[in-house]
């Protein structure tokens, strides 16, 4: 019994798209970390399943796994796990443009035609018979605005247009087309096909029914065997559509295969649909169509016209989705913070190693004007783990120049700078792992009473442990003597050490050279004999024979003393021009990034700008100086070189050796 309107043009229900948020997140990650400005087509895999609800069609879905992994493997195709009954794979291609203008300028009809050509070639080569999943394809064009998390996109499901269109002879529910015996056997055979991991996701197949009403489900390549047996034959496919009067979109290319490959003019088809995981012949449809095509259409060089661009509310326009509102604020902040760094790797700095920066642990000694600015700059470079050490409190004069503090931090005598700075960093960037330590740095030349001696020794031990547990140490304190003990400890531990010091209108930024040891000794396992033997490891030269670079104290002939007692107010405070600290802080962090990206790291030889013998401009970040001295009155900046001194009070071999021998019992420092 034919449906009313039989003999009319066969009309197909368009396929609809659905994109999981994970797909856009994966695309963003690939774009930032792997593709950059490369806008070459990207292979993708879509997924669909037969309709499983009488009132809702299934969509073709893109998931995170629809894209290849963002790891550095050589795979060019997304990994698809076969055998999932709810994920019939559809191969496809993604064109993601770099600009919105590029998105609009894409030759959409040309791209659609190219994808249809792939289907046409697979039909004529026989690949579509061996692997019927290639009969369906998905085309996606997009523009990802990673700054605002807007994604503009447009789907196409390429379909070969029969010319003239197929004529519908009959279409009815499958339960009305089969006899009771046939219906029971077809249901059983289809359920077995769907429940097998080998065939669960094979979307096109044959259903043959013998004279005894026994049904069998077979692969497309078995067509000739079915025809020889003289059995009743239906061309079946997983139909994502729920409509009672229209077959789903996959039938279009199936009919093209049947006509071009087997030259059939009358086709009976089964639109397989199910309910709760089992065949539902009341929802499924059986139809009969007549195919008449023009002469030469079956030739491979005669590619049919292609259709398939998805409509958006009935119009041929792209869609847009914004994920910012649905994202966790912390995750959104991390993505936004990393955006500038990852964009650097597209063109300006492809060799930028973000993994080093993300994993770095930095200790900032001093949370004043310099400490606040350095912390901000470190976060801008992607450093996530920052420890600030300071024992001062936030004063009313601080917030204007110390960027991490506000007036609220000054009330009731002022909060401790270390803890207030951490709160501020976490408000600025919730993902930062910041710790504030309230502690004074023991200083030579400052008398210590007998009551304070135990506490000072504990502070020495704690400072030693902090330096040992961090990768980079910034010396950002107000006084010269407060830099002495950290300099000595850093030299002994061979830590990357950066000093920033301010005058009224001048500044110094420098990296300390490596310590006097070729290797870091295991102090806990040392004996007095091994310490004596270790004297041979105390050297003034790097492993390559170059002279060691000096530390902050190497050019001093006077030991550090108390610089705050018996001083007027303007001599006790760091009185500087306001623009000086931001400049010095930024240079200090940039110097660190240069060290991390230099092949020799802390052992890198000093380079001087405009020098014929130095200055390796082939490095991605330019030269790596030892010292940078700047003068605001002259708006001038110089790069200088200073070698280590064998009489340095902080990093020479004699001082380091004495400190090691005493460390076995307690950490003592000269001057106490």
Answer whether 90's CB lies under 8 Å from 47's CB. yes
Strands (E) across 108-187 are located at: 138-145, 150-160, 167-173
For 225, how many CA atoms within 13 A lie in the half-sphere containing its CB? 10
Q: How confident is the model at residue 515 (pLDDT cuts 50, 70, 90)?
A: confident
- Is residue 468 within a helix (H) or strand (E), and if so which, with residue range? helix 453-469
Task: Give me 633's structure tokens.
Answer: 């009155």
Q: Would the pLDDT of 329 be above 80?
A: no
pLDDT of residue 517: 65
| Angle (CA) 666 668 672, round 5° | 140
Q: Would the pLDDT of 411 be above 50?
A: yes
pLDDT digits (tens, 9 = 90+) for 65-120: 999 875 555 556 676 667 788 899 999 999 999 999 999 999 999 999 999 999 99
Nearest to 517 by CA among 657, 394, 318: 657
Name, in order, each residue with C-beta under 8 angstroms of 483's C-beta and a sequence gap of 6 or more. Answer: 365, 475, 477, 499, 552, 553, 560
Pairing of strands 204-209, 232-238: antiparallel
Q: What's the CA gap between 289 and 10, in Å, rounded?
A: 7
Q: Would the pLDDT of 1 be above 80?
A: no
Task: Give me 173's structure tokens.
Answer: 């529910």
pLDDT digits (tens, 9 = 90+) for 138-183: 999 999 998 888 999 999 999 999 988 999 999 999 999 999 999 9
Q: Let me know if 148 is exposed, middle or buried by CB neighbors in 10 A (0-12, 13-18, 19+).
A: exposed
Q: Would the pLDDT of 532 be above 80?
A: no
Buried b (16+ CB within 10 A) or exposed e, 626-642: bbbbbebeeeeeebebb
Q: What is the mean pLDDT of residues 624-643?
A: 93
pLDDT of residue 562: 63
Region label for 276, one of left (φ > 0), alpha (ψ between -120 and 50) or beta (otherwise): left
Q: Is the alpha carbon torsion for 232, 236, 242, 247 positive or negative?
A: negative
Q: What is the mean pLDDT of residues 495-508?
A: 94
Q: What's the CA gap between 561 and 479, in Å, rounded?
A: 10
Answer whether 102's CB lies under 8 Å from 37's CB. no
Q: What's the CA gap between 316 and 309, in Å, rounded?
A: 7
Nearest to 669 by CA among 390, 459, 528, 493: 459
Query: Among the residues of 266-409, which ranges form H helices?
Result: 329-344, 354-359, 369-380
What is the pTM for the complete model shown?
Answer: 0.74
Q: Which residues are catalytic?
A: 573
* Average pLDDT score over the chain: 86
Q: Would the pLDDT of 6 be above 70?
A: no
pLDDT digits (tens, 9 = 90+) for 238-275: 999 999 999 999 999 999 999 988 989 999 999 999 99
Q: How confident is the model at residue 207 (pLDDT cuts 50, 70, 90)?
A: very high
Calculate the CA 38 to chain-centre distance.
16
Phi, psi of 276 (to 5 degrees): 55, 35
Q: What is the mean pLDDT of residues 189-209?
A: 95
Nearest to 174 by CA among 56, 50, 9, 258: 50
Pairing of strands 496-502, 266-272: unpaired
Q: 1-5, 31-35, 119-123, 340-344 — which is least confidently predicted?
A: 1-5
* DSSP secondary structure letter of residue 37: T
Phi, psi of 537 (to 5 degrees): -85, -5
> Which residue segments constitute the domains of the chain, with CATH numbers given?
12-68+82-160+322-326 (3.40.140.70), 167-304 (3.40.140.100), 350-515+539-609+620-657 (3.40.50.720)
Q: Would the pLDDT of 465 be above 90?
A: yes
Pairing of strands 266-272, 285-290: antiparallel
Q: What's the CA gap between 180 and 172, in Å, rounded?
A: 15
Q: What is the mean pLDDT of residues 347-375?
A: 93
Q: How confident is the model at residue 189 (pLDDT cuts 50, 70, 90)?
A: very high
pLDDT of residue 523: 35
pLDDT of residue 580: 94
Q: Would the pLDDT of 123 be above 90?
A: yes
Bridge partners of 142, per DSSP, are 96, 153
Task: Please give, one letter per residue, the 3-state secondary structure of 542-602.
Answer: CCCCCECECCCCCCCCCCCCCCCCCCCHHHHCCCCCCCHHHHHHHHHHHHHHHHHHCCCHH
pLDDT digits (tens, 9 = 90+) for 429-456: 998 999 999 999 998 878 888 888 889 9
Q: With pLDDT > 70 as the criterion, what percentage of the chain qualifies?
A: 86
């Amino acid at each position: 019994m034919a449906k009313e309107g039989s003999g009319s043009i066969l009309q197909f229900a368009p396929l609809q798209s659905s994109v999981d948020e994970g797909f856009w997140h994966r695309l963003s990650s690939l774009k930032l970390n792997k593709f950059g400005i490369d806008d070459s087509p990207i292979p993708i895999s879509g997924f669909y399943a037969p309709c499983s609800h009488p009132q809702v069609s299934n969509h073709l879905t893109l998931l995170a796994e629809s894209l290849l992994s963002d790891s550095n493997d050589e795979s060019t195709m997304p990994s698809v796990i076969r055998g999932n009954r709810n994920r019939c794979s559809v191969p496809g291609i993604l064109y993601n443009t770099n600009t919105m203008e590029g998105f609009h300028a894409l030759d959409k009809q040309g791209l659609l035609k190219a994808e249809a050509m792939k289907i046409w070639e697979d039909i004529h080569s026989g690949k579509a018979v061996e692997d019927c999943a290639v009969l369906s394809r998905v085309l996606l064009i997009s523009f990802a605005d990673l700054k605002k998390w807007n994604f503009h996109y447009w789907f196409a499901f390429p379909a070969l247009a029969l010319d003239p269109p197929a004529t519908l002879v009959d279409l009815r529910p499958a339960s009305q087309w089969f006899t009771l015996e046939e219906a029971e056997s077809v249901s059983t055979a289809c359920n077995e096909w769907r429940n097998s991991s080998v065939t669960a996701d094979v979307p096109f197949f044959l259903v043959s029914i013998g004279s005894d009403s026994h049904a069998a489900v077979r692969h497309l390549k078995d067509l000739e065997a079915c025809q020889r047996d003289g059995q009743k034959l239906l061309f079946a496919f997983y139909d994502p559509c729920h409509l009672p009067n229209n077959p789903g979109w996959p039938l279009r290319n199936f009919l093209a295969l049947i006509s071009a490959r087997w030259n059939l003019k009358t086709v009976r088809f089964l639109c397989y649909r199910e309910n709760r995981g089992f065949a539902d012949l009341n929802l499924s449809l059986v139809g009969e169509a007549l195919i008449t095509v023009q002469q030469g259409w079956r030739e491979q060089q005669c590619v049919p016209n292609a259709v398939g661009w998805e409509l958006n509310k009935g119009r041929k326009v792209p869609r847009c989705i914004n994920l910012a509102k649905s994202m966790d604020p912390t995750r959104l902040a991390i993505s936004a913070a990393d955006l500038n760094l990852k964009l650097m790797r597209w063109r300006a700095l492809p060799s930028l190693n973000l993994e080093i920066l993300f994993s770095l642990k930095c200790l900032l000694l001093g949370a004043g004007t310099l400490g606040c600015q350095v912390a901000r700059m470190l976060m801008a470079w992607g450093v996530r783990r920052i420890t600030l050490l300071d024992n001062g409190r936030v004063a009313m004069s601080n917030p204007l120049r110390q960027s991490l503090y506000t007036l609220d931090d000054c009330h009731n005598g002022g909060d401790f700078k270390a803890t207030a700075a951490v709160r501020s960093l976490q408000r600025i960037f919730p993902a930062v792992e910041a710790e504030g330590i309230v502690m004074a740095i023991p200083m030579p030349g400052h008398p210590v009473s007998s009551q304070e001696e135990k506490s000072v020794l504990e502070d020495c031990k704690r400072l030693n442990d902090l330096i040992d547990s961090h990768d980079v140490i910034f010396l950002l304190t107000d006084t010269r003597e407060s830099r002495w003990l950290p300099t000595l400890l850093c030299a002994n531990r061979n830590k990357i050490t950066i000093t920033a010091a301010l005058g009224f209108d001048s500044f110094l930024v420098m990296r300390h050279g490596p310590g006097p040891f070729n290797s870091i000794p295991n102090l806990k396992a040392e004996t007095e004999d091994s310490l004596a033997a270790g004297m041979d490891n105390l050297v003034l030269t790097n492993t390559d024979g170059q002279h060691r670079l000096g530390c902050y104290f190497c050019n001093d002939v006077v030991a550090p003393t108390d610089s705050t007692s018996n001083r007027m107010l303007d001599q006790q405070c760091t009185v500087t021009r306001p623009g000086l600290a931001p400049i010095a802080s930024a240079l200090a962090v940039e110097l660190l990034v240069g060290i991390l990206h230099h092949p020799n790291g802390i052992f890198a030889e000093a380079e001087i700008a405009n020098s014929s013998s130095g200055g390796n401009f082939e490095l991605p970040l330019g030269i790596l100086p030892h010292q940078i001295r700047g003068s605001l009155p002259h708006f001038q900046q110089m790069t200088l070189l200073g070698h280590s001194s064998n009489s340095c009070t902080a990093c020479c071999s004699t001082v380091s050796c004495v400190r090691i021998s005493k460390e076995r019992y307690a950490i003592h420092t000269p001057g106490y």
